[in-house]
Amino acid sequence: MLTLAATTPGEPEIFASLQGEGLSSGCPSVFVRLSRCNLACLWCDTAYTWRFTGDNRPHRDEQAYDRAANQVTLSEEDVAARIAALGGDRLVVTGGEPLLQGPALARMIALLPAMHVEVETNGTVPPSDALDRLVGQYNVSPKLAHSGNPAELALPPERLAHWAAEPRAWFKFVVARPEDLAEVLALQASHAIAPDRIFLMAEGRDSATLRSRAPWLAEMCQEHGFRYTDRLHIHLYGDTRGT
């Protein structure tokens, strides 16, 4: 069984859209959003996947979500059938933190052998062997200090070393202010990550914020040889579920 996020009560967040971020930005994709996360980012735009009533981990919106209305549990066969019905050959598994459900996720993906699979992860959870064999691309987004997560939880050195040595892994760092760059550079140096494997993305849940941060973020990418990524889905659809 898989535990998914919901777009509306009882309706799993499985949808077709364009990938909005990173290496595959602009590619038509089918998305499945899983529920639960082991981290708690202050600015998380999918807090409905983890900040349920009774969870007092900090978030800037301070909103608690009803678990029953925001989670759906389905069999791996049901999830695979819903994904297949949307067509396409690219699957993006996102969250929450998808790797928390690695074994069940592997069983589901095995039912979709023709799909190229991307997994979006915060980088703190190792993939199971069964899942790892089925993944074509990892979009790894380590959380910097401004996320509010303690470094010992968000940036375990052994996990970062694993992803740095994994050729299928691409790094995406969410940047809120120019001062965040120093932390990115330190992580890059300590793990010998090639600059062209690093994307910088502005933190923001609306087009105005993203555009205001784009000029100085683009300059940083040019200076250090990093890649710039926007949030295409925010510009197209706003900060909405199922897009």
Q: How high is the pLDDT of residue 107?
A: 98
Residue-wise pLDDT tens for the chain (243 aa)? 999 999 999 999 999 999 999 999 999 999 999 999 999 999 999 999 999 999 999 999 999 999 999 999 999 999 999 999 999 999 999 999 999 999 999 999 999 999 999 999 999 999 999 999 999 999 999 999 999 999 999 999 999 999 999 999 999 999 999 999 999 999 999 999 999 999 999 999 999 999 999 999 999 999 999 999 999 999 999 999 999
34 inside domain: yes
Say what the pLDDT of residue 49 is.
98
Residue 91: the pLDDT is: 98
Q: pLDDT at position 222, please?
A: 98
Is the pTM here over 0.95, yes or no? yes
- How many independent structural domains does the chain possess? 1
Establish if 222 belongs to a structural domain.
Answer: no
4 contacts: CB under 8 Å, gap ≥ 6? 12, 13, 14, 32, 33, 34, 35, 71, 72, 73, 74, 79
Range of the domain at 164: 2-171
The answer to whether residue 42 sits within a structural domain is yes
Residue 160 within any structural domain of the chain: yes
> Coil, helix or strand for 169?
strand
Question: Is residue 211 domain-resident?
Answer: no
Residue 241 lies in a domain: no
Q: In what order do the strands lie in the sheet with 137-140?
A: 14-18, 28-33, 90-94, 116-121, 137-140, 169-175, 198-202, 227-228
Residue 118 in any domain: the answer is: yes
The pLDDT assigned to 238 comes to 95
What is the CATH classification number for the domain harbouring 15? Answer: 3.20.20
